[in-house]
Structure 1
Amino acid sequence: MSEFEPRDEYRDLFENAPCGYLTIGSDGRITKVNATLTAWTGIEKDKFAGRRLHQFLNIAGRIYYETHIAPLLRMQGFFNEFALDFETAAGERLAVIANAAERRDGDGTLLFTAVVVIKATDRRRYERQLVDSRTELQKGLATERETAKLREQFIAVLGHDLRNPLAAISAGARILQRSGALQEHKHLRVLDMINTTVTRMSDLIDHILDFARGRLGGGITLSRDAKPLEPVLEQVVDELRTASPQRVIETTFELTERVNCDRTRIGQLLSNLIGNALTHGAADQPVRVGAKTDSGKFKLWVANAGEPIPAAAMERLFEPFFRGDVRDSRQGLGLGLHICWQIAQAHGGRLDVTSTPDETRFVFTMPLVP
């Protein structure tokens, strides 16, 4: 087997190197090009000779070469890792990474410039994917900002635009009741119905607003203090006794320590739990409400008799808009228990439920000090 002469080895290394290689004379014109680059481009060697490098680049590459690369090469004598696009004989784009360095003699006279090009199709495709991904991310961020804006508008509508007409209706009904203008029994019943409906609609708005804040905004907001909590609990129970005079609500409160909490939110939680018990509990049995402080914790529970909650429903009980087996329209949107769960979470506590044929009990537990 014959061996290459050193000159043949150098020639083979030049021609068949795994990279494109060309030299540019001191006049800026190509003098040599290896077989690898001609194979990649499909352009014959004699068509490279005597021409300038930028003539083989696409339009964008020509502009970039003349405005950035060539001045940098003249200034410092080299450039590294510039992305260029050659145009092949077939009119296709060949993505490459190019390095170049000048060769000078002992007097500093420029002899030629050596340029090495490496195929970078996969790398450039990956870079473009990164750019596209960043563009999509920026679009996503813009969408998120727009969503946040719409979210705030949505909450504003719930908190303001829907409440105002309800307040006007409620105020009008109260004025008529106080003025005595309507004396007939049927008229008074209509006013009572209007007031009850306004209260119900206001509760629904509160639930939707809390849901929007919890799921779309920053969560349930709290305004904590350590003022006595029992008066708030008593007031909630009294309001529900008035609203459901035919039902019995029994209470046992043993609050020997102050509870650092948002009293309004705790009242809301209790109101929702009692309302749930009144709706689903046995009508001939009392709803039992209790609260106590013990061992550094505050516990609040609501229990009722009646049919137990089905196992399938227990798994989804605190999900928004879950209503289980609807018994009547008083269940509303199915947000009450979800709001209770959010209030418990916001207080660093938990809301548990047990349900047997004898009793269904909801228990809220939280630390006395956050």
Structure 2
Amino acid sequence: MSETAGEYRDLFENAPCGYLTIGPDGRIVKVNATLAAWTGFAPDKFVGGRLHQFLNMAGRIYYETHIAPLLRMQGFFHEFALDFETAAGERLPVIANAAERRGPDGGVLFTALVVIKAADRRRYERQLIASRSELQQGLASERETAELREQFIAVLGHDLRNPLAAIGAGAGILQRSAALQGERELRVIDMINTTVARMADLIDNVLDFARGRLGGGITLSRDADRPLKPVLEQVVDELRTASPRRVIETSFDITDNIDCDRTRIGQLASNLIGNALTHGAPDQPVRVGAKTVGGKFELWVANAGEPLPAAAMAKLFEPFFRGEVRRSRQGLGLGLHIASQIARAHGGRIDVTSEPDETRFIFTMPLHPLEALPLRQTST
């Protein structure tokens, strides 16, 4: 035997992977020492046998139903996971590649099969699958908890309406009573009415938020036949009554019909104006304007005061955000979020600019919206 032939033989026998050669009749004709050592079977135990005899039960089924047919059809297979069964009855996980060698007439001369130990890799794969399963279970549990929490908020909001309505009705009866003529009593009743209205707004915001998170979204009842201006005027009058020491200036020039939900647009306007009253300079007026121009409806609310910081601008429309500057102790931080969702539902958007002398929110929507547009924020 030449030195080169000896080197080749040593490379075959002691390679870091297992080698098998299978004859055209499907029987093993050669096996290297590496695979024999891994399995604990002597080489002559392999010779004359068939590959599936040395696999565990699961490996045999997989080989006969998947690998062998694929090998016959295309003449090779790559990176299939198999489990050998050792002489001690233990499982030996491997990754296998195989390729047929054919003669000039197209007949199979032999099939070469290479196997690589895959215990660590297969263990990692099993751990990865187990971790993924645990993660999916955790996500499902978190999702279920979130849904239950939001359903609880929705139910709580509905249940709060009845006692709140009773309080409002009682205050109305007292206000109309001839027995109450004193200024102090009337002032207390006005405070009760203002509180009831504020609590009703909070409940509406909570319910809208819960409905949006549960997939229902903001519901609309569109009507293009009735005017929007009286709705905006009523909203402004209510806010003037609730904040008698503040000045609200208006400029409405609505000349075209608007296909919108007037109640929701009123809610949007109320939330924007309420935000301006809360965060604007108290000695400066809040200015509100609305117009129809160029096939669009535009509503803007402006207030004086310190400009919004960039960090706050990026989070203005997120739920429960109330900002770091002039933080209000009132409200849940849902007003601007609900306003943005109403804008989206109408196919519009809310833009924001904040300069040293003015912060302005601008709601724009088409007169006949077809699809929702993304919310956009701008700062100057």
Partner of 1:209: 207
Contact 2:286–2:302 (Cα < 8 Å) also in 1:
yes
Matched ranges for 1:1-370 at <5 A:
2=2, 19-21=18-20, 33-45=31-43, 61-62=56-57, 65=60, 83-88=81-86, 93-96=91-94, 116=113, 118-119=115-116, 121=118, 124=122, 128=126, 131-132=129-130, 135=133, 138-139=136-137, 142-143=140-141, 146-147=144-145, 149-150=147-148, 153-178=151-176, 186-214=184-212, 217=215, 219-226=217-224, 227-305=226-304, 307-312=305-310, 313-320=312-319, 321-326=321-326, 329=329, 331-347=330-346, 348-357=348-357, 359-370=358-369
* C-alpha displacement of 1:129: 6.3
Gaps of 5+ in 2: 99-109, 370-380
Change in CA separation of 1:72 and 1:298 when aligned onto 2, cut-off 3 Å: closer
Query: 1:152-211: CA deviations, max 9, x gaps?
Result: 514522541333332333334334445667676555544433332222122222233334
**C-alpha displacement of 1:235:** 1.0
Q: Take 1:142 and 1:279, find their aligned partners in 2: how far apart are those partners?
A: 39
Q: Secondary structure at the match of 2:302?
A: strand
Measure the CA separation in 1 of the matches of 2:361 and 2:298: 10
* Stretch moving more, 145-154 or 360-369: 145-154
How far the C-alpha of 1:255 sits from its partner, in A, is: 0.7
Number of matched residues? 348
Code of the aligned partner of 1:277:
A
TM-score, scaled to structure 1: 0.70
SS across alignment from 1:162: helix
Query: What CA deviation, in whole Å up to 9, does each residue of 1:61-91 have, x standing for no partner?
Result: 33664x776799999x989977442355788
For 1:205 and 1:366, locate their aligned partners in 2 and report how far apart those are by CA, in whole Å.
26
Amino acid at match of 2:326: V
SS of the residue corresponding to residue 324 of structure 2 reads coil
Identity across the alignment (%): 69
Find the structure with the greater CA-based Rg: 1
Q: Which amino acid aligns with 1:355?
A: E
Shift of 1:139: 3.0
TM-score by length of 2: 0.69
What is the CA distance between 1:98 and its match in structure 2? 6.7
Gaps (5+ residues) in structure 1? Answer: 101-112
Two-structure CA RMSD over aligned residues (Å) = 4.7
Rounded to whole Å, the distance in 2 between the matches of 1:254 and 1:74 is: 80
One-letter amino acid of the structure 1 residue matched with residue 35 of structure 2: L
Structure 1, residues 80-118: CA drift from partner, whole Å, max 9, x if none?
977442355788642135799xxxxxxxxxxxx999562
Bigger drift between 119-128 and 48-57 goes to: 48-57
| C-alpha distance in structure 2 between counterparts of 1:162 and 1:148, whole Å | 21
| Pair 1:83–1:360, CA change in 2 (3 A) | closer
Conserved in 1, the CA contact under 8 Å of 2:96 and 2:116?
no
